[in-house]
Amino acid sequence: REKQQAAREQERHRRRTIESYCQDVLQRQEEFEHKEEVLQELNMFPQLDDEATRKAYYKEFRKVVEYSDVILEVLDARDPLGCRCFQMEEAVLQAEGNKKLVLVLNKIDLVPKEVVEKWLEYLRNELPTVAFKASTQHQVKNLNRCTVPVDQASESLLKSKACFGAENLMRVLGNYCRLGEVRTHIRVGVVGLPNVGKSSLINSLKRSRACSVGAVPGVTKFMQEVYLDKFIRLLDAPGIVPGPNSEVGTILRNCVHVQKLIDPVTPVETILQRCNLEEISNYYGISGFQTTEHFLTAVAHRLGKKKKGGIYSQEQAAKAVLADWVSGKISFY
């Protein structure tokens, strides 16, 4: 009888163990599926024609999130909220391993200092945020880095080709390298929309051209690993394009190739609505236009953009204006 009772007790324990194991598996499966749903919502690179290419880019982005201890989300200071990818942020904060998320407000030289200060105050209420301006030098090595703090640098100094904000960002990353008194190695993923300056940021921190850069979206196609020092490795990810609220918004954030646009005129109309018309008039040397069509015809005349038959091309003029927009030549904030 004692043997039978012991056998029954052992069977009950085995069933409890199996049930507990199954519940644990189901819970892990639910967590995994939720993370998959969040990442799928990112809808990366809708402008790419090839489905296999989209999947490859998506896979590379996931690798960066998975391998990183710290994620730097790079934002364009001209439109920080428009550059934020909240689905990606949720995926990072819910990922295993207690990953850290830091916002980097890049291209601060393209907006007035008081605007930068207000954005920093706003964003720091949610997440750690660092102001940054990547180096615009064309040399391969010894990229210049200014040690003057961003809040003390004049607007004219910020317009120089040197990098600003690197010292502060390195301090932030250095703090994440410490476990008490012991320094440890970390991987830092650099993510964000195309053309917000991810690769330029890495090059500025490395002080050399470790990553390819370009004004055309999609220059970075695969995850790139760069050793910053013996404790910090940077991971450069392909740009992410969340499902946009509007096609125009995606275009104005330079998430698509300007030269491949079927309708470049509509985004220019939005630019004229958002920006200071006096500044645009001064930049192109045009005045007195009443409509987008009149403006583009005048730009085409000034730039010599013609179609066959000598007719001025509004489409070519619109693409030229959009190219100026994404390169920061047209002031907007």
Q: Which range, of 14-18, 33-37, 141-145, 234-238, averages the lowest pLDDT? A: 33-37
Of 30 and 68, the structure prediction assigns the larger pLDDT to: 68
Is pLDDT of 131 > 90? yes
53-to-25, 40, 175, 195 alpha-carbon distances in Å? 33, 15, 37, 19
Q: What pLDDT shows up at residue 92?
A: 86
Which residue would you say has higher pLDDT here, 91 or 103?
103
Q: How confident is the model at residue 328 (pLDDT cuts 50, 70, 90)?
A: confident
Percent of the chain topping pLDDT 90: 19
In the numeric block, which tokens belong to residue 158? 């910020």
CB 152 within 8 A of CB 186: no
pLDDT confidence of residue 322: 84
At residue 187, the pLDDT reads: 92
Please state the rounded mean pLDDT for residues 19-46.
Answer: 49
Mean pLDDT on 98-107 = 93
Tokens standing for 17? 């163990």
pLDDT of 23 over the 60 cut:
yes
33 backbone dihedrals φ, ψ, rounded to 5°: -65, -35
Return the higher-pLDDT residue of 55 and 143. Answer: 143
Band the pLDDT of 88: cuts 50, 70, 90.
confident
Average pLDDT, the chain: 77
The per-residue pLDDT for 129 is 96
pLDDT band per the 50, 70, 90 thresholds, residue 208: confident
Which one is predicted more confidently, 195 or 73? 73
Q: What pLDDT is stored for residue 119 in this prediction?
A: 95
Which amino acid makes up residue 200? S
pLDDT at 147 over 70: yes
CB count in 10 Å sphere of residue 224: 19
Whether the predicted pLDDT of 330 surpasses 90: no
Cα angle at 112 between 109 and 117, to 5 degrees? Answer: 95
What's the rounded mean pLDDT across residues 145-154? 86
Residue range 190-207: mean pLDDT, rounded: 85
Question: Which of the four CATH numbers 3.40.50.300, 3.40.50.2000, 3.20.10.10, 3.40.50.2020 does domain 41-236 have?
Answer: 3.40.50.300
Q: How confident is the model at residue 240 (pLDDT cuts 50, 70, 90)?
A: low
Q: Could you tell me which residue, 253 or 65, shows the higher pLDDT?
A: 65
Q: Is the pLDDT of residue 205 over 80?
A: yes
Q: Which amino acid is at 48?
A: L
- Burial (Cβ within 10 Å: 0-12, 13-18, ≥19) of residue 213: middle
For the chain, give every domain's residue range. Answer: 1-40, 41-236, 257-326
> How high is the pLDDT of residue 79?
86
Mean pLDDT of 277-284: 86
Mean pLDDT of the region 227-254: 65
Judged against a pLDDT cut of 90, whether residue 130 lies above it is answered with: yes
Q: Of 42 and 154, which is predicted with more confidence? A: 154
User: Model pTM greater than 0.75?
Assistant: no
Count Cβ atoms within 10 A of the Cβ of residue 268 and give its class: 0-12 exposed, 13-18 middle, 19 or more buried. buried
CB 303 within 8 A of CB 321: no
